Each structure stands twice: as structure tokens, then as C-alpha cells.
Amino acid sequence: MDGLIAPDETNLPPAAPQLREAAVLVPVYRDDAGELRLVLLVRSNFGVHGGQLAFPGGKQDPTDTSLLDTALREAEEEVYLPREAVQVLAELPDVSTPTGYRVTPYLGRISRPAVWRWLEREVAEVLEVSVAELLDPARHATEDWQLDGWARSAPVSFIRIGEHKLWGLSYRIVRQLLPRLTAGEWMV
């Protein structure tokens, strides 16, 4: 080794766990009255995220050519939104989850279908939520929650949308997006 000393790998800090890649599409459009709306899904009651609000998306498949491809594929699969109906406006900052995913959100202006259809095993309902509703301070709250798998209760911030609560990953995406949308950063 020419006098070089190899590092003792037992003394090196442990490597950070590898985050799994995922992506979501954040669909946005203006309704007939000119009001800006985001499209959210109510997840079906199956699986770990049952009943939660989410954006179309999921983990990257080996056949996806990029994370954008992941987001568009998932939107096609979950709510039958064709790629041709999406104009991608921006890649938003990544958001990591406690479950080991790094999620890349993509903001996309959509041509809204006449009627929403969805994959029932994954989606229970499609909601079209006005940005004004999401900005309403009366809808914002923080409560102590104790969920399955949590060691103890913790404060959770959310936005009330009808009978639903937007929290977690989707809440974090919306919180960072709303100021940029209302500032007119993109032509929507």
C-alpha cells in the first residue's frame, strides 16, 4: 500500500440509511370562475395511509425513467390523468418522510377532466380544493395525536378540508407551495 494506512472501517461513522425515492404530482388548475384549485386524493381505507389526503404519486419503479416519470405514471394509474393533460411547471423541494422516503413533488397545471375517475383500490375520492380554502387561517390547527406505531402522542399540524384533515407529507408540500402560488411565481 506504499506506506498509506487504510482507514479502520470499524471506526467510521455508520452510513446514513439510503432513502427510497418517490414522487408526487401536485395538480393545479383554474376553475370556470378563475379560482385556483389543487387536486387531492382521499386514499382508500386499505393500507397504512387509508383515509388520508394525498397527491397522486408513489415510489419509483425500476421501469420509470425519472422521478417525473414516476409522478406522471402514478397520476395516470390512480386518477386516469393522462400525461398529455399535465404541463409541468416546477420541481418542488424534496420532502423526506419518517418511513425512509425522499419524495420529489412536481407542480403541474392540468386540463381538468370532465369527470374524475379513479382506481378504487387506491383512491376513495378526488377533491378539488381552492387555494383560498387552504389559506383560510380558521381551517389551520394543531392537535396532539397518538397514532398506531407512535411511541407517544405528538403535536400534528393540519388543514381542515370538509370532514378531512390534510396533514403529514401532503401538508408539508402545501405549506411550502402556498406562498409561492399566491405570489404568482407560476402562470396558472
Please give the backbone phi and psi of residue 138, each rounded to the nearest 5 degrees, phi first. Answer: -65, -20
Indicate whether 1 belongs to any domain.
no
Indicate whether 13 belongs to any domain.
no
The tally of domains found in the chain comes to: 1
Indicate whether 165 belongs to any domain.
yes
Indicate whether 43 belongs to any domain.
yes
pLDDT at 39: 98
pLDDT at 49: 57
Q: Determine the distance from the C-alpha atom of residue 60 to the mean position of all C-alpha atoms in its chain, rounded to a whole number.
A: 14
Indicate whether 2 belongs to any domain.
no
Locus of grid cell 374524475: 116
Q: Provide the residue count of the chain.
A: 188
Indicate whether 5 belongs to any domain.
no
The grid coordinates of residue 125 equal: 375520492
Indicate whether 6 belongs to any domain.
no
Q: Determine the distance from the C-alpha atom of residue 51 to the mean position of all C-alpha atoms in its chain, rounded to a whole number.
A: 15
pLDDT at 1: 43
CATH number of the domain where residue 129 is located: 3.90.79.10
Closest C-alpha among 116, 95, 94 to residue 37 = 116
Under a CB-based contact definition with an 8 Å cutoff, are residues 102 and 16 in contact?
no
DSSP per-residue letters across 116-133: ----TTTEEEEEEEEHHH
What is the mean pLDDT for each group of 10 consecutive residues in the chain (188 residues)?
44 64 98 96 76 94 97 97 98 93 97 96 96 97 85 92 96 96 92
pTM listed for this prediction = 0.87
Closest C-alpha among 136, 139, 126 to residue 167 = 139
- For 34-66, what is each residue's pLDDT tens digit? 999 999 999 998 655 567 999 999 999 999 999
Q: Which domain, by its residues, includes 165?
A: 19-182
Under a CB-based contact definition with an 8 Å cutoff, are residues 37 and 29 in contact?
yes
Indicate whether 35 belongs to any domain.
yes
pLDDT at 176: 96
The grid coordinates of residue 100 equal: 425512509
**Residue 107 DSSP SS3:** strand
Please give the backbone phi and psi of residue 179, each rounded to the nearest 5 degrees, phi first. Answer: -60, -35
Q: Give kind and range of the element (H or E) at residue 170.
A: helix 168-182
